[in-house]
Structure 1
Amino acid sequence: MDSRGAMNVCILGAGVVGLTTALELQNQFPNANFTTIAHLFNQQTTSDGAAGLFYPSSTFYGPSLDITKKWIGDAYSYYDSLRISSDGENAGVFQYSGFRLSSSVPSLVRSEYMEDVAPVHRYATEEELQQFPGKWKYGSYCVTLGIECRRLLPWALARFQEHGGKVITKKIERFGELADDYDVIMNCSGLSAEHLCQDRLMVPIRGQVIKVHAPWVTQFVFSEHDTYIIPSGRGRVTLGGCRQFSNYNLSVSKWDSEKIREECFQLMPKLAIAPELETWVGLRPHRHPVRVEAEVLSIPNKRGGTLKVVHNYGHGGYGVTTAPGTAKHAVNVFRHLHARSGGNQLSKL
């Protein structure tokens, strides 16, 4: 606590999970002191490379199915409310539609998660399937949301600072570095949690995508073998991709690029003339299950207590999709953690 008795809270990480958690904390506890600490911001983060399609896979999972569905529902509500607000355009949230396709496995085009939240989620008609080259036997059509992190992250960081949040650029190697300055750490450090928490369940999922300028592409298409074409805002389209577990290689693979071009051009031939803007490689922080829980560490602080941590990491390739939902959950965990520890700061906020 500071000299006024207000609680000092650190949010570790400035990707989409960290920033949505920071904003949720400020919303619920406006009189506390919040500081975001990270060594990477905005376009430097893994979040920036995301295609931004709100469509979580069944591989995304929390501690239970009910909690996972609540995270997804809360996240969709957050983004949809933001979309229709005056901040929607600046934050890069928009609505669009598209298709999932399969030539052999009907379950690939269904999503129990999206059936619960999307305004439209239905099987594709034969006529709709025929617009795509190839022998597609199964398909679904969905209206959902797109989130352009190249706008969302700067918007969220600016909003955090406008509401009194402090920002420090620093790489944290140990939680003990923060013990004397903060009452609670919100650990949204993504893949860095593998080292910070010695978490053996954390693995990187290497992804590579190609960003092109193709303003005529207004619907997403997601087919088998991690092939996707996703409008990502302002004429940028993300072509992907790959999903390589436990691969730490951040170099561009020409073989992955060739596969992406070949499969996306087969699906949408006109993309062959689209100018390429960049090739992006990132390591998605995957954990099964996603970790959102409290931990009291045996690290003393100068106030005679021990360091409290609320973890919120391991979202894999679905951090952008689900961040507002896990942020809401993490802030509720934060509230209960402090209440159980006998602190009374929250009652003052």
Structure 2
Amino acid sequence: MESPKIAVLGAGVVGTTTARLLQNEMRNTEVTIIAESFKEDTTSAVAAGMFRPGTSFRGSTKEITKKWIDNSWEYWQEILKSSEAPQAGLMSFSSYIFSKENYQVTRNHLIEDLVPIYRPADKNELKICGEGWKYGSYFSTLKIGCERYLPWVEKKFTVNGGKIVKGKIDSFTSLPQRFDLVFNCTGLGAKYLCNDFDLVPIRGQVIKARVPWLKTAFYGDYDAYIIPGFDDIATLGGVRQYDSYNMNVCKHDAAAIFERSCELLPALKNVEIIEHKVGLRPHRVPVRVEGELINGLKVVHCYGHGGYGVMCAPGTAMDAVKIGVDLFKSNIRSKV
């Protein structure tokens, strides 16, 4: 048989990771990434990329959700331990999460048994960000900087023979050529590609600021977070605006983000603001990872990660690839 032809729709962190895993799993295949936006133009590039999945991230069962998270952590750990970690945008650090009102928001049952350290903050640590914090936790984690990861994984993909095609796919019948298997990693684009109205945007806005002294992440009440990054560029956030399609920077959101960040860490008042960014998180419950036959075309869906696509892309991609392999093998058997 000729080498099977596979298309991956979408070049964000989910699509590029899926494409790379496909090359590793299905040897001698021709894999093509088709997308309208790449690298810094994707929603993935807006995200801070800290590994801290929220409770709104869900697969079809609790067991599947936990498997996705655990497998993603191991995938990132493998890169983190390699010499390519800096080029791939991986770095480890620690984080505090504080609350003045609710002890439970400082806990995360999805990663407490996964990360090396997850413990309650002591009385002195509760005063790091000023007075009034009643509850807190300290944990170790990692960051995936997509401004580095996406170019890194795309290069790995193309060096291994992968193809890149820039273009918008409006329907599965409008693909530029015949493919034996298609992976739908289009994020919010799947809303119309699949007529999936369970998929809604959650608008996010962040501030990128130069904070060379920041080595630890901080979370506070009301979606306030400060996360270190590469080249001394930290991410200050954020907002979660349900069902909003506004891609413009809102000066009121920017002012609120900066005010909350400075309340959390007063030393931020004099930092250099580099830019403001906006992205639409593709939110769906549960995240859709499943196969489907569409007009005779074998399609594997992998989308709806919300604000947790960067951290949990590998785990969902592994399941998507497995589904794709099984679909392809069943196709071969049907021809024998």
Which letter does structure 2 place at the counterpart of 1:59?
S
Q: Which of 296, 302, 308 does residue 312 from structure 1 map onto?
A: 302
Instruction: Go from structure 1 to structure 2 and tell me whether the alpha carbon gap of 1:344 and 1:129 turns closer, same or farther (over 3 Å shift).
Output: farther
Number of aligned pairs? Answer: 336
Which residue of 253, 275, 280 maps to 2:272? 275
Instruction: Give the aligned partner of residue 220 of structure 2.
Output: 223
Report what 2:10 is aligned to: 13
Structure-to-structure mapping, 1:267-346, within 5 angstroms:
267-298=264-295, 306-343=296-333
Equivalent residue, structure 2, for 1:55: 52
Give the drift of 1:272: 1.1
Q: Report the Cα offset of residue 344 of structure 1.
A: 7.5
Identity of aligned residues (%): 44
Structure 1 residue ranges without an equivalent (≥5): 299-305
Query: TM-score, normalising length from structure 1?
Result: 0.94
SS of equivalent residue, structure 1 residue 248: coil
Match in the other structure for 1:242: 239
Matched, 1:43 2:40: yes
Q: CA–CA distance in 1 between the matches of 2:131 and 2:39?
A: 38
Contact 2:26 2:325 in 1 (8 A): no
Matched, 1:98 2:88: no
Give the counterpart letter for 2:302 in structure 1.
N
The residue that corresponds to 1:29 in the other structure is: 26
* Deviations, residues 145-180 of structure 1 (Å, cap 9, x unaligned): 111110000001110000000000001111111285
Aligned-residue RMSD, C-alpha: 1.4
CA distance in 2, matches of 1:26, 1:295: 21
Does the 8 A contact of 1:12 with 1:185 survive in 2? yes
| Amino acid of the structure 2 residue aligned with 1:237 | A
Give distance in 1, aligned partners of 2:218 and 2:131.
13
Q: AA paired with 1:16?
A: V
1:108 maps to 105
Residue in 1 that maps onto 2:140: 143
What code does the residue aligned with 1:213 have?
R
Residue 232 of structure 1, CA deviation = 2.1
Q: Say which of 146, 152, 156 aligns to 2:153.
A: 156
Separation in 2 of the partners of 1:106 and 1:337?
Answer: 45
* TM-superposed deviation, 1:19: 0.5
Aligned to 1:301: none
The offset of 1:335, in angstroms, is 1.5
Query: What runs of 5+ residues in structure 2 fail to find an aligned partner?
Result: none
CA contact (8 A) 2:182 2:300 kept: yes
SS at 1:75's partner residue? helix
C-alpha separation in 1, matches of 2:99 and 2:61? 28
Contact 1:179 1:307 (C-alpha < 8 Å) held by counterparts: no
Write out per-residue CA displacement over residues 121-165 of structure 1, whole angstroms, 9 at most, x where no aligned residue.
111111111111241111000100111110000001110000000
Could you state the TM-score of these two structures normalised by the residue count of structure 2? 0.98
Distance in 2 of aligned mates of 1:21 and 1:52: 17
2:69 to 67, 72, 76: 72
- Whole-Å Cα distance in 1 between the matches of residues 2 and 326 of structure 2? 19
